Chain A
Amino acid sequence: MSLAAAEPAAVAGCVTRPVLRERGQHEVFCGLTGIVWLHRKIQDAFFLVVGSRTCAHLLQSAAGVMIFAEPRFATAIIDERDLAGLADCNDELDRVVARLIERRPDIRMLFLVGSCPSEVIKLDLSRAAQRLSRRFMPKVRVLSYSGSGIETTFTQGEDACLASLVPEMPAEPGTARSLLVVGALAEVVEDQMIRHFAALGVGPVRFLPGRRAAELPAIGPGTRILLAQPFLGDTLRALESRGAKRIAAPFPLGVEGTSAWLRAAAVEWGCPEARIAEALAAGEARGRAALARHREALAGKSIFFFPDSQLEIPLARFLSRELGMQLTEVGTPYLHREIMAEEVALLPDSVRLSEGQDVDRQLDRCRAAAPDLTVCGLGLANPLEAEGMATKWSIELVFTPIQGYEQAGDLAGLFARPLDRRARLEL
């Protein structure tokens, strides 16, 4: 489609850098996909999508074999009786939820997750959630958010989910200072960060989401927010509306990103520079040693990012600054200028940033650029490989622990492996 409103005629935002904005076919997941990792993270929550067979099929395709390990998600499939008004959608939903809660007595929080069909027929899930919460409290709290494709792209599903938790967070009495790390992280990463913050004298440290939905962290004017993930615009806004303040920082990817992220919190807590340097030195040294092994394989190689998760810009920053890769185009589904300001400032001038997508045009640009490595979704990866291009499928970057010093080498390894494989194969 040629709906790209502002082709190279760039739109300058608050970051003074041209951004190619495109509108056309988007080859991305919708926000429902967030359920796949969120339900692993929040161990007593259940995610009930109110949608169509397509939604159910998407979830099982995205979750792969995980769907059989006692999944804590399901779909209430809207059928023609619901649409024809023969069945009252709200009554039907109540029936399905009652049955579900009966079958899963271990569930403490139930998310009603909106989809494209439920949004289009204007099924009011927030009212349904309030109604059901009244019915099942205090045993089960019922919340709602939208993971629909018409409103959310991939990781934005986590943003919508976490934003729905914010009004439920208890208020911090007084103005006691605390750090809130926002964004789902692997437990191993969380634990590493806790040790770093302790060494820096930063605390108390809380995480959103926590491992149990029923134990939400308190929030108040003394709360300082450190975003662990770049896709949390709505959550940030909701947290700020409750008086918390964001600590601006790049994201904790790579040695540089992790140090800057930790340092930003340390400075806010008034930690002396000597202590910061001392606390971070060992992690930085280990991270750099791990990166050195991959630098040889990646330095000088060009890379092209298709939009997917909003992690593209921090990843590109890491790959260009710490591994010497050449950035051609960095695509992101959505560019939140304020959150991304520190990251964009670290990108080289030569890079083309693009927001949104017209996948066929972007493929044309990618082929013309002939990058050494292309980061893209699974719908594009094999077709591009068949054209002779090396790809790194992007979804793995969301599921794998990649933040922090100890994971920096692994993160670089994810990009080095496809090139290594190509070098080894004699076919």
Chain B
Amino acid sequence: MQLAVWTYEGPPHVGAMRIATAMRDVHYVLHAPQGDTYADLLFTMIERRAARPPVTYTTFQARDLGGDTAELFKTAVRDAYERFRPQAMLVGASCTAELIQDDPGGLAKTLGLPIPVVPLELPSYQRKENWGAAETFYQLVRAMAGPHAPPPGTKRLPGRRCNILGPTALGFRHRDDIAEVRRLLEAMGVEVCVVAPLGATPADLARLGEADFNVVLYPEIAGQAASWLKRSFGQPCTTTVPIGVGATRRFCAEVAALAGLPAPSDDVALRMPWYSRSVDSTYLTGKRVFIFGDATHAIAAAQVAAKELAFEVVGLGTYSREFGREVREAAKAHGIEALVTDDYLDVEAAIAAAQPELVLGTQMERHVAKRLGIPCAVISAPVHVQDFPARHSPQMGIEGANVLFDTWVHPLMMGLEEHLLTMFRDDFEFHDGAAPSHLGAKASGPAELGNGRAPAAPSVPAPAAVTPHAVAGDPISWGAEAEQELKKIPFFVRGKARRNTERFAAERGIGVITLETLYDAKAHFAR
């Protein structure tokens, strides 16, 4: 058993729902108890969908368990077919139905429906939402496109037609990413055949083989299907996810190679590189950033942060265990160790220890950052309703890079404002507790740090309580004079100064930090 207060991913059948809801003319019959319909509201409320998800639940109850839940399931499938007349159906079990061991696939087969019925095996006690989505998409692609596979060994020449694979319902900015990537591709002269699963029908999936190659937007969801298409249809696929300026350029070069076309030059609408080079952005240099999310977005964000905004990446992690290897490799490139966990308390502890100046994460990191008083921007699912915005807001491609710049810089103190705060920090209107002027009046008090579960303890001077380097050997204490001097350092670099000084002291076996230690450390680290 695992104690969980908060989960980054839902169960795998929610992943299957994301595929079914993304598509048209598919209906999913889920053998599930009363109550599992809660998942509907993720789609109708968070994504604000105007129609119910195409999912029928058997909603068996305790009194049904002694009787014939299998018959209940068959009736549900038959009625759903009659009512919705889909082109294809998905059948499967949720976690509880998995335990009662009715066989949805076998039961549905006995009904002899005149459409393909795809059984899903989603091990709920082992796997999670993204895996469920990937598996469901793969099974559907196999079922629909499989009959049209060319004979093994058929050669495929480079061509200009592609599919876009991966966008789903409840995907973080999937709607706008498609528009952006489609624009990139069409500007190069590449034709988009099928976008799937979002907006596709089963008949569209049957046509996947007509394309020359596949563009994989979200490897977590489309990776498995794309590699099957590669084996069965000989379709190559893209490996770069076009998030950020550099990645978008590499993506375009990759597509150009696959399509046998010249690589395009940068779009005039690409404002991000100039914004980042302009002098107002100088203050962004070396800002310490902590990044957590799904593997694709976290890896891409780290690249953008380091290379395109000149931040220092001080933490990188993911809850996607399936992609742990990729994230560890990416972290290595930034000289740090990756954090692969689905326990938000671990993430919170890592953020507190790294003392970043900016957190890029999911809605969970947004709440952690709020508790710790650190600016934050959202880069990955899971997200609340505000991250399904009405405005066009992609993460990918050219406009995506512009959006990333605005979104990540916005929560930070603006350059001039930061400067004024330093100059006038003793002024009553410009004090340490002042929040960025554009983020409302709430002062960010000293960070309340802890394990996230402790009762509100009497307020302890927070940074000292958590400074990770103070634990080795004898505790290091601060002399009154040095402590006073530390307070004169602008608050946004004070944490770094404190940490560096303590590290400096620890390395030299200094027990009490004096004014001299503080300035020795400053000189030591000023490189």
> Which A residues are closer than 8 A to B by beta carbons?
1-3, 24-33, 50, 52-54, 56-58, 60-62, 65, 67-68, 70-71, 73-80, 82-83, 87, 89, 92-93, 95-96, 99-100, 103-106, 116-117, 119-121, 148-151, 153, 360, 377-383, 385-386
CA gap between A1 and B100 in the complex, in Å: 20
Q: Is B454 an interface residue (CB 8 A)?
A: yes
Residues of A within 8 A of B34 (CB): 26, 28, 30, 149-150, 153
Q: Is B428 an interface residue (CB 8 A)?
A: no
Q: Are B125 and A83 interface neighbours, CB within 8 A?
A: yes
Q: Which of B45, B72, B95 contacts A378 (CB 8 A)?
A: B45
Q: Are B125 and A61 interface neighbours, CB within 8 A?
A: no
Q: Are A116 and B3 interface neighbours, CB within 8 A?
A: no
Residues of A within 8 A of B371 (CB): 68
Residues of B within 8 A of A82 (CB): 1, 125
- Name the distance in Å between B124's Cβ and chain A's nearest Cβ: 6
Stretch of B53-61, B391-399, B411-419 lying at the A interface: B53-61
Q: Is B484 an interface residue (CB 8 A)?
A: no
Residues of A within 8 A of B123 (CB): 80
- Name the distance in Å between A107's Cβ and chain B's nearest Cβ: 10
Question: For chain B residues 235-280, which have a beta carbon within 8 Å of chain A?
Answer: none
CA gap between A120 and B14 in the complex, in Å: 21
CA gap between A61 and B10 in the complex, in Å: 10
Cβ contacts B63-102/A at 8 Å (1 or 0 each):
0110000001001100100010000000000111001100
Stretch of B36-44, B172-180, B460-468 lying at the A interface: B36-44
Chain A: CB-nearest residue to B124 = A52
Q: Is B182 an interface residue (CB 8 A)?
A: no
Residues of A within 8 A of B2 (CB): 76-77, 79
Residues of B within 8 A of A65 (CB): 367, 384
- 7 sample A-B contacts, Cβ–Cβ < 8 Å, listed by A number: A30-B35, A30-B36, A52-B96, A57-B7, A60-B6, A100-B3, A382-B45
Chain B: CB-nearest residue to A382 = B44
Q: Are A53 and B453 interface neighbours, CB within 8 A?
A: no
Q: Are B37 and A26 interface neighbours, CB within 8 A?
A: yes
CA gap between A67 and B192 in the complex, in Å: 42
Chain B: CB-nearest residue to A32 = B35
Q: Is B119 an interface residue (CB 8 A)?
A: no
Q: Are A3 and B59 interface neighbours, CB within 8 A?
A: no
Residues of A within 8 A of B106 (CB): none
Q: Are A106 and B37 interface neighbours, CB within 8 A?
A: no
Cβ contacts B5-16/A at 8 Å (1 or 0 each):
111011101100
Q: By CB atoms of chain A within 10 A, which of B41, B75, B79, B456 has the most?
A: B41
Q: Are B6 and A58 interface neighbours, CB within 8 A?
A: no
Question: For chain B residues 1-34, which have a beta carbon within 8 Å of chain A?
Answer: 1-7, 9-11, 13-14, 33-34
Q: Which 10 A-B pairs have the closest CB atoms?
A: A30-B35, A149-B35, A379-B40, A386-B50, A116-B96, A52-B95, A57-B10, A378-B41, A149-B33, A149-B34
- Name the distance in Å between A29's Cβ and chain B's nearest Cβ: 6
CA gap between A1 and B39 in the complex, in Å: 20
- Name the distance in Å between B470's Cβ and chain A's nearest Cβ: 23
- Name the distance in Å between B352's Cβ and chain A's nearest Cβ: 15
Q: Is B451 an interface residue (CB 8 A)?
A: yes
Q: Are A103 and B37 interface neighbours, CB within 8 A?
A: no
Q: Are B75 and A2 interface neighbours, CB within 8 A?
A: yes
Q: Are B37 and A379 interface neighbours, CB within 8 A?
A: yes
Residues of B within 8 A of A104 (CB): 453, 455
Q: Are B76 and A1 interface neighbours, CB within 8 A?
A: yes
Chain A: CB-nearest residue to B74 = A1
Chain B: CB-nearest residue to A57 = B10
Chain A: CB-nearest residue to B453 = A103
Residues of B within 8 A of A2 (CB): 75, 79
- Name the distance in Å between B61's Cβ and chain A's nearest Cβ: 5
Q: Are B1 and A92 interface neighbours, CB within 8 A?
A: yes
Residues of A within 8 A of B364 (CB): 68
- Name the distance in Å between A116's Cβ and chain B's nearest Cβ: 4
Residues of A within 8 A of B62 (CB): 119, 148, 150-151
Q: Are B61 and A151 interface neighbours, CB within 8 A?
A: yes
Q: Are B95 and A54 interface neighbours, CB within 8 A?
A: yes
Q: Is B459 an interface residue (CB 8 A)?
A: no
Q: Which of A29, A148, A150, A386 contacts B38 (CB 8 A)?
A: A29
Q: Which of B9, B126, B453 contacts A70 (CB 8 A)?
A: B453
Q: Are A379 and B41 interface neighbours, CB within 8 A?
A: yes
Residues of A within 8 A of B94 (CB): 54
Q: Is B523 an interface residue (CB 8 A)?
A: no
Q: Are A377 and B41 interface neighbours, CB within 8 A?
A: yes
Residues of B within 8 A of A75 (CB): 3-5
Q: Are B100 and A380 interface neighbours, CB within 8 A?
A: no
CA gap between A27 and B50 in the complex, in Å: 17
Q: Are A68 and B36 interface neighbours, CB within 8 A?
A: no
CA gap between A92 and B1 in the complex, in Å: 6
CA gap between A238 and B484 in the complex, in Å: 64
Q: Are B125 and A78 interface neighbours, CB within 8 A?
A: yes
Q: Are A74 and B5 interface neighbours, CB within 8 A?
A: yes
CA gap between A378 and B52 in the complex, in Å: 10
Residues of A within 8 A of B38 (CB): 29-30, 33, 58, 61-62, 379
- Name the distance in Å between B177's Cβ and chain A's nearest Cβ: 23
- Name the distance in Å between A80's Cβ and chain B's nearest Cβ: 4
Residues of B within 8 A of A99 (CB): 3
Q: Is B410 an interface residue (CB 8 A)?
A: no
Q: Is B48 an interface residue (CB 8 A)?
A: yes
Known: A67-B6, A117-B96, A150-B33. 14 other contacts (CB 8 A): A31-B35, A53-B95, A54-B10, A58-B39, A61-B38, A61-B42, A68-B364, A76-B3, A77-B4, A103-B454, A360-B56, A379-B38, A382-B44, A385-B50
Q: By CB atoms of chain B within 10 A, which of A2, A57, A87, A103 has the most?
A: A57
CA gap between A3 and B72 in the complex, in Å: 8
Assuming the contacts A26-B34, A117-B96, asked whether A379 and B10 have C-beta atoms less than 8 A apart, the reply is no
Q: Are A80 and B7 interface neighbours, CB within 8 A?
A: no
Q: Are B75 and A3 interface neighbours, CB within 8 A?
A: yes
Assuming the contacts A1-B79, A379-B41, asked whether A29 and B58 have C-beta atoms less than 8 A apart, the reply is no
Q: Are A379 and B384 interface neighbours, CB within 8 A?
A: no
Q: Are B11 and A27 interface neighbours, CB within 8 A?
A: no
Chain B: CB-nearest residue to A31 = B35
CA gap between A77 and B2 in the complex, in Å: 5
Residues of B within 8 A of A26 (CB): 34, 37, 57, 59
Cβ contacts B277-293/A at 8 Å (1 or 0 each):
00000000000000000
Q: Is B51 an interface residue (CB 8 A)?
A: yes
Q: Are A29 and B52 interface neighbours, CB within 8 A?
A: no
Q: By CB atoms of chain A within 10 A, which of B3, B51, B64 has the most?
A: B3
Residues of A within 8 A of B5 (CB): 67, 71, 73-75
Residues of B within 8 A of A77 (CB): 1-4
Q: Are A56 and B367 interface neighbours, CB within 8 A?
A: no
